[in-house]
């Protein structure tokens, strides 16, 4: 009976989430490879064209930006495939991944808003607006940085040469399936052991200890009220929804006002994001990219994210 319960728990907490992750990666990989095989990257890059042109990013980066509104896996797979086939170099890969901050934000926006609005009412609009401003700031900031770091037109010329030839659907699918089988083997080889390792680390409480350590050392936030600290502790030690629920309760009974709630949620966002990003992103990033490169991408992404959210938090603190 105990063995059956243990097996059931392992399946629900490790087996099925891992299978689901591999299914999502497979769909994203197939879709990204098929678009590339049909030479459609330039066609779907039109959404980001003004920004990519200014940033000196290639149409492949623009296509990835467009795809990121619908699937982060497909967007990252496009970049990974472009890097592996030498259509973009490492510098552009990193910049393009950071450039996708805005569409990635929109991908999660409906869920975030639908949870926040019923709990913190009108404060949700301000909080969402500030986090949106941070995402926009990241994308615009990367565009500006890319403008000076990337040479104008180099990758675009290369892409035009490589995408000159047209593909029929049959040829495109044949090429897609061939690439998919080769690439998926590598993804499974990296993703499965890393995902299992992170499951073990979660089971033995490593991440809980790290989150609890952060929650226990918040003396530097003495400028916030004790009630705000409780929201931040829940945000860091539990999850975003727990922090929101506490915020909603404190707002409803008049203990805290909208400004205090928003500041507490922004600080909780800043403190909780790095550990959660590493915990949830690294297993699938390491499958799409190589583990070393995956780590670099997450570090760059989280660094820019922290800077942008700290910036909007400081502005809100000073002017609200």
On whether the CB atoms of residues 223 and 198 are closer than 8 A, the answer is no
Helix (H) or strand (E) holding 149: helix 123-149
**pLDDT of 160 strictly over 60:** no
**Rounded Cα gap, residues 53 and 46, in angstroms:** 10
Lowest-confidence range among 128-132, 135-139, 282-286? 282-286
**Rounded Cα gap, residues 174 and 279, in angstroms:** 36
Its pTM stands at 0.77
Q: What is the pLDDT of residue 96?
A: 95
Question: What pLDDT, in 10s, does the model give residues 219-239?
Answer: 556 667 777 777 777 777 666
Angle at 130 between CA 129 and CA 131, to 5 degrees: 95
**pLDDT of 112 strictly over 90:** no
Question: What pLDDT, in 10s, does the model give residues 299-310?
Answer: 999 999 999 999
**pLDDT of 154 strictly over 70:** no
Q: Which residues contact 5 (CB under 8 A, 6 or more apart)?
A: none
- With a pLDDT cut of 90, the percent of the chain lying above it is 27
Segments forming the whole domain that contains residue 110: 2-319
DSSP state of 30: H
In the block, which residue shows the tokens 């296509």?
63
Tokens linked to 53: 């042109």
Please provide the average confidence, as pLDDT, over all residues in the chain: 81
Question: What pLDDT, in 10s, does the model give residues 185-224?
Answer: 877 877 788 778 877 877 887 766 666 665 666 655 666 7
Number of structural domains in the chain: 1
Question: What pLDDT, in 10s, does the model give residues 17-50?
Answer: 888 878 877 887 787 777 767 666 566 666 778 8
């Amino acid at each position: 009976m105990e063995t059956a319960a243990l097996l059931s728990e392992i399946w629900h907490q490790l087996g099925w989430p891992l299978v689901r992750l591999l299914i999502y990666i497979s769909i994203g990989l197939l879709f990204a490879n098929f678009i590339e095989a049909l030479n459609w990257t330039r066609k779907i890059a039109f959404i980001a064209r003004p920004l990519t042109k200014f940033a000196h990013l290639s149409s492949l980066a623009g296509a990835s930006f467009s795809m990121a509104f619908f699937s982060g896996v497909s967007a990252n797979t496009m970049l990974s495939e472009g890097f592996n086939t030498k259509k973009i170099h490492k510098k552009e890969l990193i910049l393009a991944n950071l450039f996708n901050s805005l569409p990635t934000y929109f991908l999660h926006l409906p869920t975030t808003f639908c949870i926040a609005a019923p709990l913190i009412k009108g404060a949700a609009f301000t909080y969402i607006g500030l986090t949106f401003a941070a995402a926009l700031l990241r994308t615009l900031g990367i565009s500006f940085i890319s403008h000076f770091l990337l040479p104008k037109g180099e990758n675009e010329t290369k892409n035009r040469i490589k995408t000159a030839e047209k593909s029929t659907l049959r040829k495109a699918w044949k090429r897609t399936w061939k690439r998919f089988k080769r690439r998926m083997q590598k993804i499974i080889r990296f993703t499965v052991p890393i995902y299992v390792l992170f499951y073990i680390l979660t089971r033995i409480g490593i991440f809980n200890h790290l989150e609890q350590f952060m929650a226990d050392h918040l003396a530097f936030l003495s400028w916030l009220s004790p009630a705000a600290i409780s929201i931040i502790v829940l945000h860091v030690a539990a999850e975003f929804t727990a922090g929101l629920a506490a915020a909603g309760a404190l707002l409803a009974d008049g203990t805290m006002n909208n400004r205090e709630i928003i500041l507490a949620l922004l600080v909780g966002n800043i403190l909780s994001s790095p550990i959660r990003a590493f915990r949830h992103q690294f297993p699938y990033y390491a499958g799409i990219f190589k583990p070393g490169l995956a780590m670099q991408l997450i570090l760059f992404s989280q660094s820019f994210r922290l800077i942008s959210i700290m910036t909007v938090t400081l502005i809100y603190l000073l002017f609200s």
